[in-house]
A and B are shown apart, each in its own frame.
Chain A
Amino acid sequence: GQSLEQPSEVTAVEGAIVQINCTYQTSGFYGLSWYQQHDGGAPTFLSYNALDGLEETGRFSSFLSRSDSYGYLLLQELQMKDSASYFCAAREDSSYKLIFGSGTRLLVRP
């Protein structure tokens, strides 16, 4: 089986930087994905790391370390609209299934 663990809640101030961690346990691993979900809305894809290192997309960056079974999502220059839930996800072995973490609720304060 496979499991992903992430903190349940993170609070940060507008304009600051926040890091959301994700650790995973898996019998097979292809890469780590990140999704954002605003309250009442559907998840939207943010980023995918197949290789170790940092991937940058605007204010958002995602990092993966396969040797540590660990990844994180980094949000810079936080804005109020970044308040949402963030999910890490990984594929289970060679299947078509994506296993999601339980989500981290980010609250951005003024």
Chain B
Amino acid sequence: SQTIHQWPATLVQPVGSPLSLECTVEGTSNPNLYWYRQAAGRGLQLLFYSVGIGQISSEVPQNLSASRPQDRQFILSSKKLLLSDSGFYLCAWSVTPDTQYFGPGTRLTVL
């Protein structure tokens, strides 16, 4: 069966510090991978998606970036965090875009 991992579960970072969130998927090959952000009590905002190694599509121009160095690994990064980067970050995988499976998420607080 397929499993998706995200870490860390929670993170508190100062403004201006770097960020690296990692997501890995097991039990499937060549999945579509996604990064979402969710503000408290709000919907899901798509940040990046990837259909293959090294292929990244950015949806929201901001100080975040994503990379897919391996087939089942997706990394979200920032060189300098802003207060507005706080939120719940969710990684998801899919075979077809309509059915996505989410990881447990990382709750990021930027102070």
Interfacial residues, chain A to chain B (CB-CB below 8 A): 30-31, 33, 35, 41-45, 48, 50, 87, 89, 91, 95-103
Contacts and interface: CB of A to CB of B under 8 A. Distances in A.
A42 B102 contact: yes
Contact of A98 (B42, B57, B90, B98): B98
A97 B44 contact: no
B20 interface: no
B98 A87 contact: no
Contact of A43 (B32, B59, B90, B97): B90
A102 B97 CA distance: 19
B104 A100 contact: no
14 contacts: A30-B98, A33-B99, A41-B105, A42-B104, A42-B105, A45-B100, A87-B44, A89-B98, A91-B98, A96-B51, A96-B97, A97-B46, A98-B100, A100-B44
Given A43-B102, A97-B46, A102-B43, A91 B90 contact: no
Interface string B22-48: 000000000010100000001110100
A89 B32 CA distance: 17
Ranked 6 nearest A-B pairs via Cβ = A42-B102, A102-B43, A100-B44, A96-B97, A42-B105, A100-B43
A93 to B, nearest CB: 11
Nearest to B104: A42
Most B C-beta atoms less than 10 A away, residue of A30, A43, A44, A96: A96
